[in-house]
Structures are given as structure tokens and as C-alpha cells.
Amino acid sequence: MTDSKQKSAPKSGFSRRAFLRGSGAAAAATALHTQTAAAVDDQGPKVVRGETSITLNVNGKDVQVKAEPRTTLLDVLRYQLELTGAKPVSLDGSSGASTVLIDDKPVAASTTLAMAATGKQIRTVESLGGEQPDDVVQAFVSHDAQQCGFCTPGFVVAVRAFLNKNPDATEAEVRAGLNGNICRCGTYANIVEAALAVVKGD
Amino acid sequence: MPEYNWPSREASTVIGKVHDRLDGTVKSTGAAKYTYDVNLKNQLIAVAYGSPYAHCKIKSLDVSGAEKTAGVVHVEILPQGQKDTEIEWEGELLAVVAAESEAAAREGISKIKLAVEELDVFADEGNLEAAEEAGRTGNGGGKVETVNEPGDDDDEDEFVEAEIERLFKQAKHVVEGYYAIDPITHCCLEPHGSTVEWKDGKLQAYLSTQNVSGTDEQFARDLKVTADDVHVQCEYIGGGFGSKFAPDYWGIAAARISKATGRPVKMMLQRDQELKLGGSRPSGYLKVRLGADQNGVVQVWDSHHWGSAGYRGGGVSHSVVPYVLVPPNYRRTSTTIKSNTAQARAWRAPNHPQACAMTQTALDDLAATMGANSYDIFLANLANASNGKADVYRAEMEVGAKLIDWKAKWHPHGKGPSRGSIVDGLGMALHTWGGTANTSSCLLKVHPDGGVESFCGTQDLGTGTRTVCAQVLAETFGLEVDGVRVNIGSSKYPNSGASGGSTTVGAVCESHRRAGQDALEKIFELAAKELEVDASVLEAVGGRIRDSANHDKSITWRKACSLIGLKPLEVTSNYQRGAASTLTNSGVGGVQMAHVEVDKETGVVKIKKFVAVQDQGLVINPKTCKSQIYGAVIMGIAAALYEQRITDPKTGKFINAELSDYKLARLGDIGEIVVELYEPESERVRGVIGNGEPPAISPKAAISNAVANALGVRVPTIPLTPKRVLDALAKA
């Protein structure tokens, strides 16, 4: 393991930088790349076949799940952990509906292999709910930034990640920075308002 | 029976007031469970195999490889997959593989072997000549209307021909043009599908549907059971837009597989299948000649249009051509084309968006020809408004023009200033829709502790139906919205019509207001005895029942409800579609204006500002009402500039059936949108009218007109992609 990798990913051997390159088609390639890198980094080449038990850290808790090499993080969340906020909309991640945070960066869970997410902090939209929902959730409600709501969890996570990085975002920055998600009902205008309301602390 | 009515604007405390949608938090935190999210214990995941051919005859379908795949539990060949079946469009489902996981099911699918006899494909639906040559055309109908009528001895066809030519000779201005709009898909983010379970001869179906009350019967009919044996539930639905009224044959197949395996089955269409099969909007291509008088009022219209709604024919109905502004003399004819593409489904305001896009663009070209202001030409042609709403349009145009600053920003077509290669332009369009209330029943329970619960087999597509139901009941009982519990989304609740055609808000307002007033009448009778007044003087305000003339004479709502007795008061009230009512109405207008920027070097169109002015009678919740309009406009921007189903004309393959290729508007593409609810007293007193469809109609024409105003050239086919913009400029 090199020093730079230790700095960026202290809890695992995965290349964090490669992992965070983005969502969409890039993430699929990244996930494969990451898996290979991990295998090489830790124990030398290792071939995994069939279903094995792995540990994922989801919303602050370590959970044991079953995964085949082909199993996506999205399938694990939805079918084993009953965390159905992240949605399966496009296999290639181009809708952003399956967005979750991995080590605080937005990633499409539909194009992330479950095995590539071990040793990472995975946060789903459900972690933004609870008794005192996240400001982004509250702004989505008060600005009516959802209609059918199927894209909404992915959007909420994307907005949270964007605002973490850009807490003082201007309207122009909001409009330029949230184009990884698709809404079919057309809630974008309300999402812009919601994001700006969070910036202003409304 | 009480006289059903709404309180005045001044007296309303909940209706007409902004309220957060009740399911906002559960939707925003992922807690809302959609059909796709329902996981039943021990369930199988089913994935379907679709035909890679657009037109073929099945020779054999070998599923043995799928059956042997690890994790696969059951494989069913659908009726469409049987030998000698003719497949008419790409993606038609032939077999279903049910497995322990989606990945295993997909692996099974990859091992299916299909042999076919390929048949001739026609998928070039915009090409009328080719369609005729291929024998794929049919008569779509038409109509002729002339002010002068043929004499007794005249041959009618000859008379019409001569009369139309005479009118064109008389016309001061003539426009001849071609206007087109490509097919798009519904592209619901939650694909069509269900999670179903057979148990003890009964079917529990979680179905992504716009038709909770009607789909139990559809399941029952195909599965040979009674509707009572089927329970359909849909708490939340991830988009429908007119495409989700039935279980579809894949829903029935899922139920069959559940029965055969004794396990619950989840079967959702895959993304490409959703785009190919889940619903599309017919294309439209129109050639027209119109003639106008010196004031720019169209006097004669002569058009022929064609298009396809799929292999089984159909297209844009001639009945809405030309759209809204119908001159006294017209001839409209149409041709339907059988294309090897999946059959279209109702798409938000069926026929209207295409008709608006193909005809109000021609009207705008009249303004361009005359060198006139488009606003003035639309205004002049309001005299021809076929729905009698000229006054409403005129008022809405005034409001819209102020909001977009039409006067200051207007320039004649193609004559605006340019900044480098960038030019800007203004355009407008207007629309109409019915939006009558659908049939609806509501069971209302008022509990002795003051709790209010309603049960209604309607559904909330994201329009805010739940919230509207609660607001209506809260207003009726003088309660807070939080004091009312609304239950919808189950076929076991009283019947309520399918959500299509903007009929839902009217439907639930009818049933909930009626049930509320019926229940309140009974509560007033009890309270009247307690207060020793006549029940007719009572009103429910601010959590109390009081004498309307003497407010000191009152009891709390809770106290009044305690008089009900031990069991809750139960009332079921109905509304039958079409029955006369003061609560709801039908028929709206609506005007939209677009301000765009076009880069003449790249062909890219950007929305600077978009204004939508919409009437819909009485508004229950301005917040969710406006959201509907924002959404319709954004959908319209997508259809105007980006989205289209691209079909390979030779193979009939839908070549952009993924969201990375099927281009929709993203958050950065929409510009500034301004929504204005037009609700003067004259509209408010009409009662509630649905607004789901109307604002989705005009955006395409308004944006196309704005682009034409910017460029001085019409880009004839929508969506106005950069290539089409550049092609139009090159041709000019």
C-alpha cells in the first residue's frame, strides 16, 4: 500500500480517489477498477466466486450481507437491508436515482459493486430522516420539491452532497451543479428553491 | 341532504391556502414504499425476455438454458412467445424468468435462444410516401366546414375545392408550411410492474397504477376469479402520465407465476423495456396552407396530417386540428400509419400537445409573414376560439405579457439584436382542456374522540391528491389539516375513478366535500340539541361548532363528536361523473410564453424565461397546484428541445432506450419559470377543475415559436435539436 492511498483511504485498501470519480457510466468502470486495485493492494490477486458474506458499514452500523461479485450495492440495500430509498431507475446510473454517499461523496449505488463498498462509510437517504430530518429534507418538503417522489431520495442525497461541498452556493452554481439526477415529473424549479433555502438557512 | 357548496374566498380557512403536501417527508427520506420497494418474504424476482426483432414470426423459443441457470426457479413462455406468433414491435415480451435474485434472473434471460422468421419492417413513420408504398397507411378521418354551403345541384367535393380556392384568392396573407413533432415515451422513473402474492385463492397485488379501483377487476377477469378475491394496493406511484391504467399482460404473468410457484413475485420492467413498451405518444406531421384577412385573422385552413400510434394504427386525432383557434372555413384530413413500434398510450392531454405544436406554429408563421407582433396575431384570432374562452385567454395573455415583459422584449421575427452568434426570441401558445370530475366515493368516519378518517380508492400520482382530500375535510369541519387522516390507494376502499384526463382533483373534492357535509349535518343535529338552537344556524369553525349569529353559543368539535355515541359516525357519499354539481366544473384555458436564446453557431437553444398563466376554477392548494404547472412546463421543455424516441427505420429498433441516450431536461436546462394561477372570482365560483393536462400542452409550440422569432426561420420538427436548428438555418 502506498502512502498516498493510506492518506486518502485509511480504513481500506481501496483507492478512494478512483472510487470518487463520479457517477454514471464512469462509476461502473471505476467500481471494476477499484475492485481489482483492492485485491492487488491487500492480499495480492484474489478470485472471488459465488456468494460470500461481507461486512458493509451502512448509516453508521456494520452489517453482514451476502454478495456475489456481481451483486450491486443497490441490490444489497434494497433487498437485504430494506433500505429502499435509493431507487433502481437506470442500470447505468445516468438517472442519479440510486445516489448514496460513500465516504461523503455521491455515488450511484446501481453501478457500485457491493464488494467494492466494504471498508467505506455508506450513507443512504434514510440517514437524513428521523426525528429531526436533515435541512435538505425539510427544504424539499417546504418548497414542494417532489411530485411522484421516485427520484426524490436520490436528489435529496445529491443536494446534500453538493451543499456539503458548496455551502454558500449561488443560484447559478446550484443550476450548474445538480445535473446528475433526472426528475420526470419536473420538480427542478422547486429543487433549486429548496437548495437555495438551505444555503440561506431559511 | 345538505346543499353542497364551497365557502367564499373570505370565509375559507384551509381551501385556497398553501399547505405542504402530506407525504413530503416520507417521499424525501425514502420512507415512502413504492411498488418496486415492496419486498415480500421469500419473493422471487422476475425479469422478462423481449423480442430483439421489431417484426417477425416466432419459429422457436428455447428456454432450457434459462431453466438450468443457478438461482432460476421458474420460466414461463408467454402467449406472445409461442411458435408462429407474429411479433409487431421490438421489445414485446416473450418469456419471463423468475429467480432468487434479479442478477440470476438476468443471467437466465441471457441464455434464452430465439429463432424467428423476419418480416418486413416499417418504422419510418414521418415518411408518408414510404408508408404509402409499404401499404401501411389508413384513413384517419377529417372534416370540412365552410361558411358558404353548396347549392342543391352542386357536387359537394367540387364545391369545397372551388370554395377553398376562392377563399385563398381572397386572402390577404397566405402561409404554407410543414410542422412536425416526433414520438416521445412516458419514461416513468418507476417502471410498470407489480409485486404479487397468491394466498388461499386470493391475489394481493402491489401494482404501480393510476387506477387502483379499476385494476382489481382486470386482474380478476384474466385470472378467472372475482374482483373480491383481488386486492390492489398502490400507496405511491413513481410516475404514470397516462400509461398505467392496467396490470398489463406482464402483471397477469407475475400473478400466474406466483400461483405456480407458491411464492410472491416481483416483476418490474427493465429500463429499456419501460421505454419500449411502457407507453409512448403518437407522432404528428402536418402540411398546411392557411389564408388570413388584412388583420391577420385566419379565414381558411387546409391541412393534411399523418403519424403513427404504433402497429395497430391510430395517430393524432383530426378533431383538434387546427388547435383551439378554428377559422370559419377549414378542411382537415389525416392519415394513420402502421409502424412497427409499440402501441401508444394516453400521454398527458392526448392529442392536444401535438395539435398545438403543429398548428399554433403555423399561426405564428402568419405573424412572421406579415411582419406583425405574434401577440397581436394571437389576440386577433381569439375571435375564432372554439371553446368560447376568448375573454379568459385575453386576460391571461395580458398577465403573461407583463410577466415576460413582452412589449419591451419583442422584435419582429429574425430582426432582433445579436450578441455574437446568440439571438433571442419570444413565442407564445394557448391551450384548452376539460378536466371534469371523475366518479368517486368516500367513506368518512368521525370518531367519538373527534378523529376524522376518510377512505377512498383513489391514488396520488404526485399531484397532491392526499393533501387536497385532507384540506377539503379540514375546511368542512373547521379543523386543522393534521386533524384529518386520509386513506387512499387500496381497491378495498370505496370506488374512485382512474386518474386520467385531469379528473382526480374534481373527483375527490366531490366525494370528500359531500361526505364531509353529510357527516357535518348529522353532527350539527346532535350539537343543536346540546346548544338548544336550530341546527340550521350552526357552523364549524376553528375547532368548534357554534351559532353563526352568536359565537358565544358553541361547543368544541371534540365535545360535539362525543355526542355521537360509542361507535364512529360513518357516512359514504358518492359522485357520479357527469352529474350536475356546484362543486366542480370543466373546461379551462391557459396561455404560455417563452423567451429563448439560440446560438446560431452551435444550434443550441436555451430557455431564458418561461411564463405559464393557468386557470383551473377554484384552487384548493396553490402550492401543489403550482407544482403541477411547473412540472408540466418542464416536461414540455424536455419535449420541445431534447426528448424523442429514435427508431432505426430499417430494423425498427428503438436505439436510445436508456436514460443516458433518451435525453430529458436536467435541472440546469429549465431557465426561469414563472407560474401564475389565474383565479378571479369569475373563475373561482365555477368550482374545482383538474389541471394536470392543460399546462403540458403549450410548451412545445411556445418554444418553437420563440425559436422562430429568434432566428427568422422555422425549425419545423420538434424536438428542436441543435442539428435541426443548424439544418433549418442552412436551408434558409
User: What grid cell was written down for B12?
Assistant: 375559507
Does residue A108 sit in helix, strand or coil?
strand
The reply to whether omega before A106 is within 30° of 0 (cis) is no
Whether this prediction's pTM lies above 0.90 is answered by yes
- Chain A residues touching residue B634 (CB < 8 angstroms): 183, 186-189
- Among A159, A173, A184, smallest CA distance to B637 is for A184
Secondary structure in 3-state letters for B295-342: CCCEEEEEEEEEECCCCCCCCCCHHHCCCCECCCEEEEEEEEECCCCC
Q: Rounded to an integer, what distance in angstroms lies between the CA atom of residue B326 and that of residue B322?
A: 6
Say which CATH topology domain B350-435+586-731 has.
Answer: Aldehyde Oxidoreductase; domain 4 (3.30.365)
Q: Quick check: A149 and B461 CB within 8 A?
A: no
DSSP per position, B232-274:
EE-SB-S--TT--SS-HHHHHHHHHHHHHHTS-EEEE--HHHH
Q: Quick check: B667 and A192 CB within 8 A?
A: yes
* Residue B699 phi, psi dihedral angles, 5° rounding: -55, -40
Q: In the CATH scheme, what architecture does the domain B35-119+192-268 have?
A: 2-Layer Sandwich (3.30)
- Chain B residues touching residue A65 (CB < 8 angstroms): none
pLDDT at A8: 38
Q: Rounded to an integer, what distance in angstroms lies between the CA atom of residue B250 and that of residue B661?
A: 25
pLDDT (tens, 9 = 90+) of chain A, 202 residues, equals: 333 434 333 344 333 333 333 344 444 444 444 444 444 455 666 788 889 999 999 999 999 999 999 999 999 999 999 999 999 999 889 999 999 999 999 999 999 999 999 999 999 999 999 999 999 999 999 999 999 999 999 999 999 999 999 999 999 999 999 999 999 999 999 999 999 999 999 8
- Chain B residues touching residue A140 (CB < 8 angstroms): 24, 28
CATH of domain B436-575: 3.30.365.10
pLDDT at B712: 98
Q: Rounded to an integer, what distance in angstroms lies between the CA atom of residue B266 and that of residue B102?
A: 10
pLDDT at B54: 98
The ipTM, to two decimals, is 0.97
How many angstroms away from the CA of A28 is the closest CA of chain B? 14
- Chain B residues touching residue A87 (CB < 8 angstroms): 34, 36, 189-190, 238
A128 touches chain B (CB under 8 A): yes
Q: Do domains B35-119+192-268 and B436-575 have the same CATH topology?
A: yes
Q: Rounded to an integer, what distance in angstroms lies between the CA atom of residue B262 and that of residue B363?
A: 61
How many angstroms away from the CA of B319 is the closest CA of chain A? 28
The residues of chain B scoring below 70 in pLDDT are none
User: What grid cell was written down for B612?
Assistant: 405559464
Q: Rounded to an integer, what distance in angstroms lies between the CA atom of residue B624 and that of residue B523?
A: 31
pLDDT (tens digit, 9 = 90+) per residue, B547-582?
A: 999 999 999 999 999 999 999 999 999 999 999 999
- Among B512, B92, B610, B174, smallest CA distance to B362 is for B174
pLDDT at A33: 44
User: What grid cell was written down for A125?
Assistant: 437517504
Q: Rounded to an integer, what distance in angstroms lies between the CA atom of residue B593 and that of residue B602?
A: 24
Is-contact B633 B610, C-beta < 8 A? yes
Quote the crossing angle between the two packed helices B212-223 and B248-261, to the nearest 10°.
60
Q: Quick check: B623 and A144 CB within 8 A?
A: yes
pLDDT (tens digit, 9 = 90+) per residue, B158-198?
A: 999 999 999 999 999 999 999 999 999 999 999 999 999 99
Does residue B590 sit in helix, strand or coil?
coil
pLDDT at B313: 84
How many angstroms away from the CA of A170 is the closest CA of chain B? 13
A176 touches chain B (CB under 8 A): yes
What residues does each domain of chain B span?
35-119+192-268, 350-435+586-731, 436-575
- Chain A residues touching residue B463 (CB < 8 angstroms): 147
B274 touches chain A (CB under 8 A): no
pLDDT at A41: 54
In sequence order, the 6+-apart residues with CB closer than 8 A to the CB of B523 are B446, B540, B545, B560, B561, B563, B564, B569
CA atoms within 13 A on the CB side of B482: 1
Q: Quick check: B627 and A70 CB within 8 A?
A: no
Q: Quick check: A89 and B659 CB within 8 A?
A: yes
How many angstroms away from the CA of A5 is the closest CA of chain B? 32
Dihedral sign for Cα atoms in the order A122, A26, B38, B66: negative
Is-contact B653 B647, C-beta < 8 A? yes
A22 touches chain B (CB under 8 A): no
Q: Rounded to an integer, what distance in angstroms lies between the CA atom of residue B117 and that of residue B108?
A: 24
Tell how strand B202-207 and strand B86-87 pair up. Answer: unpaired
pLDDT at A43: 61
Quote the crossing angle between the two packed helices A188-200 and A135-142, to the nearest 10°.
130
Q: Rounded to an integer, what distance in angstroms lies between the CA atom of residue B645 and that of residue B54?
A: 15
pLDDT at B429: 99
